[in-house]
A and B are shown apart, each in its own frame.
Chain A
Amino acid sequence: MLCRGLPRQLSCARVLLCRQSTSTDGVIATGADKSQIVNENELRPLYMDFQATTPMDPRVLDAMLPYEVNYYGNPHSRTHAYGWESEKAVEKARGQVADLIGADPREVIFTSGATESNNISIKGIARFYKSKKKHVITTQTEHKCVLDSCRALEAEGFEVTYLPVHKNGLIDLKVLEDAFRPDTSLVSVMTVNNEIGVKQPVKDIGHICKSRNVFFHTDAAQAVGKIHLDVNDLKIDLMSISGHKIYGPKGVGAVFVRRRPRVRVEPLQSGGGQERGLRSGTVPTALVVGLGAACEIAKQEMESDHKRIKMLSERLVQKIMSEIPDVVMNGDPEQRYSGCINLSFAYVEGESLLMALKDVALSSGSACTSASLEPSYVLRAIGADEDLAHSSIRFGIGRFTTEEEVDYTVKKCVQHVRRLREMSPLWEMVQEGIDLKSIKWTQH
């Protein structure tokens, strides 16, 4: 398999590595800076980390540019045309975001990103209803910003239940139902997990929350624009959206806050009362226009993107699994978003593999925690053994990933896993038939 595929794959690698140099003929570099950037780009690793962030779609940038130069008015200026044109663009973008999630435009609040949206939702709800309700439910596998917001609430005297998850990364609805208390104000469960890609049963959670009159917030940063979501169908009260995960600009996001029945939120930020008073501060027109364009494109491309990403991810998993033994896929095999694949390579240390795969940009988990060598808390929460949690790698596939990139990644990955395993004493012991679990590593 490897030998047969090798010449073709090697040539792919060459194409990828000199992809910049072959293509610059059509472009005339205008200054020293420009040619320098092009040269630097020549040997950049290929990108397989679409959960961390995505490149902007050229269509998005095209929509934004006029608002960075010509139409620079403050969208809140009501006294002149500069303000009106910006306001019109912002309202159009609000409509595009709302359209993607099946909401009313008036329910969309622009923020600086999903972290802020999560903070507004969780702290805002808890604080607004604090006189009667003091309990919040979330899960152990949430994103750091949700967990940290909950920690902050605990410090303020709220109680938080962190639901455990099954081995497949999904929560148990029975456990959720048992966790409810009369003073529960909010349930926050993410739609698609950023590390292992599992899709929580949002619809069921939404209906349970609705029947108990508890607000339901979902962090959909990794899900919006990639899978079909309708806030009314799923009974979602608050939803966080991020711009840069859907091929939009960084530094912008949105939060959906339901109007009927009304969800009330205490704002975090004081100021001029923009965005219905929930998020004061001048709305960045260009970024918001970019987010709107990204949402519209996501809606239009969802089906074809999904089909392609599924095909590429199956190709990647199947190729890796068929070539090397002892690879475990983390998270539920069915209930998942296919663009996020988390694999554990047994007997290989994840960080060494990442270092060896220099020419592929990968990550062992979320970007926020990628600086630490600790195994991911998400993998620990799904009960992955310590050694498997240490050997996991996340492959992110997106709109701009090509077959060649997938094949190159597989080739490099297989090659380095084999090499690292050959060096590993653990792997040697396993080959000799020793059960690693039976070994007592310490002397005392």
Chain B
Amino acid sequence: MAASRVQVLSLYKAMLNASQKFPSYNYRTYAIRKVRDAFREKKHVKDPKTIEDLVDKARENLAIIQRQVGLF
């Protein structure tokens, strides 16, 4: 079951929000830029299987960001 548009958008928002919390200027700007670019680049992906994989990957990355912003 492919993720819905709403799910993807909320993931996008969650990643941007989490990235905002990087205390370091360089990590923060990189994370925000990267999240934006990655979602824009894959905007036109239609294949449900690919979307599913991308969403999984994004969830992993969201977890990484959430863990890392709290470290320092």
Binding site for B on A (CB under 8 A): 16, 19-20, 23-24, 26-27, 34, 37-38, 47, 55, 58-59, 61-62, 304, 399-402
Asked whether B67 lies within 8 Å of A26 as measured between CB atoms, the reply is no
Asked whether B64 lies within 8 Å of A59 as measured between CB atoms, the reply is yes
State the majority secondary structure of interface residues on B: helix
Asked whether A47 lies within 8 Å of B26 as measured between CB atoms, the reply is yes
Asked whether A400 lies within 8 Å of B27 as measured between CB atoms, the reply is yes
Tell whether A62 pairs with B23 under 8 Å between CB atoms, given A400-B30, A402-B29: no
Bound-complex Cα distance A304 to B64 (A): 20
B residues contacting the other copy or chain, number (CB 8 A): 22
Min CB gap A110→B, angstroms? 24
Bound-complex Cα distance A55 to B20 (A): 19
Asked whether A20 lies within 8 Å of B25 as measured between CB atoms, the reply is yes
Q: Which residues of B contact A61 (CB under 8 A)?
A: 68, 71
Asked whether A27 lies within 8 Å of B68 as measured between CB atoms, the reply is no
Contact residues, B15-66 vs A (CB, 8 A): 20-31, 37, 61, 64-65
Bound-complex Cα distance A244 to B22 (A): 21
Bound-complex Cα distance A23 to B24 (A): 8
Binding site for A on B (CB under 8 A): 20-31, 37, 61, 64-65, 67-72
Question: Given known contacts A26-B23, A400-B27, what 12 new A-B pairs fall within 8 Å (CB)?
Answer: A16-B25, A19-B24, A23-B22, A23-B23, A27-B21, A27-B69, A37-B72, A47-B26, A58-B27, A58-B65, A61-B71, A399-B30
Sample (23) of A-B pairs whose CB atoms are under 8 Å apart = A19-B25, A23-B21, A23-B22, A23-B24, A27-B23, A27-B69, A27-B70, A34-B72, A37-B72, A47-B26, A55-B26, A55-B27, A58-B27, A58-B64, A58-B68, A61-B68, A61-B71, A62-B67, A62-B68, A304-B37, A400-B26, A401-B26, A402-B26
Bound-complex Cα distance A58 to B64 (A): 8
Min CB gap A133→B, angstroms? 48
Q: Which residues of B contact A304 (CB under 8 A)?
A: 37
Which of B23, B64, B68, B70 is close to A38, meaning CB atoms less than 8 Å apart?
B23
Q: Which residues of A contact B61 (CB under 8 A)?
A: 59
Q: Which residues of B contact A37 (CB under 8 A)?
A: 72
Considering only CB atoms, which chain B residue lies closest to A23 in the complex? B23
Bound-complex Cα distance A399 to B24 (A): 14
Asked whether B20 lies within 8 Å of A26 as measured between CB atoms, the reply is yes
Min CB gap B20→A, angstroms? 7
